A and B are shown apart, each in its own frame.
Chain A
Amino acid sequence: DAGITQSPRHKVTETGTPVTLRCHQTENHRYMYWYRQDPGHGLRLIHYSYGVKDTDKGEVSDGYSVSRSKTEDFLLTLESATSSQTSVYFCAISDTGELFFGEGSRLTVL
């Protein structure tokens, strides 16, 4: 398995609180991605990174920010969590096109 670790794996929080999810890779891949997965929607791209400090928005970026200060870490932050952000979040990495996914982080916003 590709060396991708997501943390936390499960989190329950309240509306309005900040939340940060972390993705750590040991593969030295250039590209990193954050997706959310919801029933009926498949995987939707939130943000992605194509290098250290180089990030761009995906199709559902509103309410999310990201940072990548070093190659191995890609952080996803919800500044003020809302119930609509209850989802399973997946980090992915790639170099040549094929994506390798982490195990997912289940976030519940009450």
Chain B
Amino acid sequence: GESVGLHLPTLSVQEGDNSIINCAYSNSASDYFIWYKQESGKGPQFIIDIRSNMDKRQGQRVTVLLNKTVKHLSLQIAATQPGDSAVYFCAEKTGSNYQLIWGAGTKLIIKP
């Protein structure tokens, strides 16, 4: 079936640098995409979302980019901090279907 996947299971970034976490999706009909952050021992927390009629959306220190041509989603974190250490999940949704399809996650490690 359709699935959302991630290019890298682990990403190591120097503190202060920018982080880019990538996600590939296969359902071209998906129209809503979300990024979640999950810290150790906690439930996932919403970071940012984007609809398919947009290419870019910015939040506080985070930017999500959507490339529908190649079905690619990315999360950019500016000036990465130790508190950004977590597993990041992308998820997609199609139309009125309230079920999300989740990727396997990327672990972000911050090097001091």
The answer on A and B forming one complex is yes
- Proximity bits, A86-108, B CB within 8 Å = 1, else 0: 00001010100111111110000
Q: Which of B45, B49, B98, B102 contacts A44 (CB 8 A)?
A: B102
Residues of A contacting B36 in the complex (Cβ-Cβ under 8 angstroms): 99
B74 to chain A, nearest CB (A): 18
Q: Which of B32, B46, B49, B91 contacts A100 (CB 8 A)?
A: B46
Q: How far does the alpha carbon of A103 sit from the alpha carbon of B49 in the complex, in Å? A: 21
Q: How far does the alpha carbon of A58 sit from the alpha carbon of B98 in the complex, in Å? A: 11
Residues of A contacting B105 in the complex (Cβ-Cβ under 8 angstroms): 42
B38 to chain A, nearest CB (A): 8
Q: How far does the alpha carbon of A48 sit from the alpha carbon of B93 in the complex, in Å? A: 15
Asked whether, in the complex, the Cβ of A103 is within 8 Å of the Cβ of B42, the reply is yes
Asked whether, in the complex, the Cβ of A42 is within 8 Å of the Cβ of B43, the reply is no
Task: State whether A48 and B98 are in contact (beta carbons under 8 Å apart), knowing that A42-B103, A97-B49, A98-B34 are contacts in the complex.
Answer: yes
Interface residue ranges, B against A (CB under 8 Å): 32, 34, 36, 41-46, 49, 89, 91, 93, 98-100, 102-105
Interface residue ranges, A against B (CB under 8 Å): 31, 40-45, 48, 50, 58, 90, 92, 94, 97-104
